[in-house]
């Protein structure tokens, strides 16, 4: 099959907003990779548009609004007959996977997990209770792992999550593909455009406020970390950026404390690139942190936690500091802000991280190769995945009847 003949249907949980979240950036990276192959891309979602999403039509992508629990989705699949269907997060696979399996059984089904929701929830409970929580005890883990097993391939953004899936959940490696962010290399001309130490000031924190780990980090900054930092640097400010700030977020704004809630950034990289140090005190979460990637791309050193930096830099030095103790976190932030030599070393450390671990071409080729192999051996691949076939049979049947019951109820 020629590349130009391949049709891929992407079922999005939301419409991609790359300037609002790392998930939005991730989705656009995947889309650009598929377009680069000359594939015909259709993006469909049941979510409402916010006005901040990418205009996919300008990229030559077909857009479709779809309904939950509606057989009208089957009309779309019947008319499109996609060769590949990509589900954005496991909830989307739960909702539409059985319909895809029924109407186009020969289509390769790919799940983009974004991050492991069960790991994020387990860590949240662990932080809340102060006790270690087994990720297998989290209810959502059963749903998420079932979705991975039902899919022909799942894209896993974090090397840590790859190990977890293989060792703890015993997922066969043939069902998984480690695929971190796919980024352009940092070249000399872009590095030379970075603002210098003297031309930057203040600290920055950035992240979508709808994402609980981000909101928790802002509270941590407000209540504990920022007072300790500002005591030593009384003239500095902390600029808090993020999409979808609620009233409780805006109430944290306090110019007298140098704690400034700025809301949505018109251009995230622009504001990150003007700050001297980025702070990301993430106490629970999963996946890779887009804010820390942006910091490296902008030459902005960062201070984060072990969870924040997890699976982000391999064996390479971190471009800043990794501290879990609040006192050590504040000290590292102050030292990085004041010490120009240390700051410059941290800035340069981000370049090999981006260029060696997130190479767009290498990772894109890896993804396309995996998909093409699946297209050629799909039947044999599925025969090796008996658990997936069993779950597809039983789980899909129960979901199917529930969905049809809801549809009938809605039609009354």
pLDDT band at residue 394 under the 50/70/90 scheme: confident
Which residues, other chains included, contact 290 with Cβ-Cβ below 8 Å and sequence gap of 6+? 21, 22, 25, 26, 181
- In percent, the amount of the chain with pLDDT more than 90 equals 92
Where residue 401 falls among pLDDT bands split at 50, 70, 90?
A: low
With pLDDT > 70 as the criterion, what percentage of the chain qualifies?
A: 95
- Model pLDDT, residue 399: 65
Question: β-strands 238-241, 259-263: how paired?
Answer: parallel
Give the pLDDT confidence score for residue 102 in this predicted structure: 92
Tell whether 159 and 286 lie within a shared domain.
no
According to the model, what pLDDT value does residue 398 have? 61
Same structural domain, 407 and 383: yes
- Residue 38 — very low, low, confident or very high, per pLDDT cuts 50/70/90? very high
Backbone angles phi, psi at 4, to 5 degrees: -65, -15
Number of domains in the chain: 2
16 and 83 share a domain? yes
Q: Quick check: 1 pLDDT over 90?
A: no
Dump strand ranges (E) for 46-166: 62-65, 84-88, 108-112, 153-156
Span 47-53, average pLDDT = 96
Question: Mean per-residue pLDDT for 143-162?
Answer: 97
Same domain, 18 and 61: yes
Range of the domain at 298: 188-357
Classify 288 in phi/psi space as left (phi over 0), alpha (psi -120 to 50) or beta: beta
Query: Minimal CA–CA distance to 17: which of 42, 43, 41?
Result: 43
CATH code for the domain in which residue 155 is found: 3.40.50.2000
pLDDT at 133 over 70: yes
Instruction: Provide the pLDDT for residue 379.
Output: 96
Whether residue 85 is predicted with pLDDT greater than 90 in this model: the reply is yes
Residue 177 has pLDDT above 80, yes or no: yes
Mean pLDDT within 58-79: 94
Per-residue confidence band for 69, with pLDDT thresholds at 50, 70 and 90: confident
Task: Let me know: does 84 contact 104? Beta carbons within 8 Å.
Answer: no
What's the rounded mean pLDDT across residues 91-100? 95
Choose the weakest-confidence range: 118-127, 262-271, 396-405.
396-405
Pairing of strands 62-65, 153-156: unpaired
- CA distances in angstroms from 169 to 30, 88, 109, 117, 134, listed in the order given: 26, 21, 20, 14, 12
Instruction: Note whether 197 and 177 are same-domain residues.
Output: no
11 with 104, same domain? yes
**pLDDT digit string (tens) for 200-240?**
999 999 999 999 999 999 999 999 999 999 999 999 999 99
Residue with tokens 């924040």: 308
In whole angstroms, what separates CA 158 from the centre of its chain? 10
CA distance 394 to 396: 6
Q: Are residues 200 and 314 in the same domain?
A: yes
Q: Are residues 178 and 105 in the same domain?
A: yes
Q: pLDDT at position 393, please?
A: 78
Residue 295 CA to residue 275 CA, distance in Å, equals: 9
Q: Which residues contact 193 (CB under 8 A, 6 or more apart)?
A: none
One domain, residues 333 and 317? yes
pLDDT of residue 101: 95
**Has residue 176 got a pLDDT over 90?**
yes
269 and 172 part of one domain:
no
Average pLDDT, the chain: 95
**Does the pLDDT at position 405 exceed 80?**
no
Give tens-digit pLDDT for 362-393: 999 999 999 999 999 999 999 999 999 999 87
């Amino acid at each position: 099959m020629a590349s130009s003949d391949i049709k891929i249907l992407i079922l999005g949980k939301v419409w991609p907003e790359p300037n609002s979240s790392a998930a939005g950036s991730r989705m656009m990276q995947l889309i650009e990779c598929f377009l680069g192959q000359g594939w015909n891309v259709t993006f469909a979602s049941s979510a409402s548009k916010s006005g901040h999403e990418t205009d996919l039509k300008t990229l030559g992508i077909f857009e479709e609004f779809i309904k939950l629990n509606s057989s009208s989705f089957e009309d779309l699949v019947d008319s499109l007959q996609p060769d590949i269907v990509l589900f954005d997060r496991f909830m989307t696979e739960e909702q539409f996977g059985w319909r895809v399996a029924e109407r186009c059984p020969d289509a390769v089904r790919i799940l983009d997990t974004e991050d492991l929701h069960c790991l994020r929830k387990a860590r949240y409970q662990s932080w809340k209770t102060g006790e270690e929580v087994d990720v297998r005890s989290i209810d959502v883990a059963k749903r998420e792992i079932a979705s991975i097993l039902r899919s022909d391939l799942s894209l896993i953004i974090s090397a840590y999550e790859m190990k977890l899936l293989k060792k703890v959940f015993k997922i066969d490696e043939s069902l998984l593909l480690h695929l971190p962010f796919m980024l352009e290399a940092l070249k000399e001309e872009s590095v030379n455009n970075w603002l210098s130490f003297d031309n930057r000031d203040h600290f920055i924190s950035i992240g979508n406020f709808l994402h609980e780990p981000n909101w928790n980090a802002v509270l941590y900054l407000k209540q504990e970390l920022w007072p300790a930092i500002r005591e030593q640097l009384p003239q500095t400010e902390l600029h808090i950026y993020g999409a979808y700030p609620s009233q409780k977020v805006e109430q944290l704004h306090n110019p007298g404390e140098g704690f400034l809630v700025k809301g949505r950034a018109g251009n995230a990289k622009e504001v990150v690139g003007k700050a001297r140090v980025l702070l990301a005190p993430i106490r629970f979460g999963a996946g890779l942190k887009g804010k820390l990637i942006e910091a490296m791309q902008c030459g902005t050193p960062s201070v984060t936690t072990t969870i924040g930096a997890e699976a982000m830099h391999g064996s390479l030095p971190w471009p800043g500091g990794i501290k879990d103790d609040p006192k050590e976190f504040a000290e590292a932030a102050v030292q990085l802000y004041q010490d120009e030599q240390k700051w410059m070393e941290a800035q340069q450390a981000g370049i090999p991280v981006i260029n060696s671990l997130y190479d767009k071409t290498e990772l894109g080729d890896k993804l396309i190769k995996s998909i093409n192999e699946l297209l050629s051996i799909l039947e044999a691949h599925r025969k090796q995945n008996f658990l997936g076939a069993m779950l597809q049979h039983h789980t899909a049947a129960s979901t199917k009847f529930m969905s049809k019951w809801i549809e009938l109820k809605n039609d009354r």
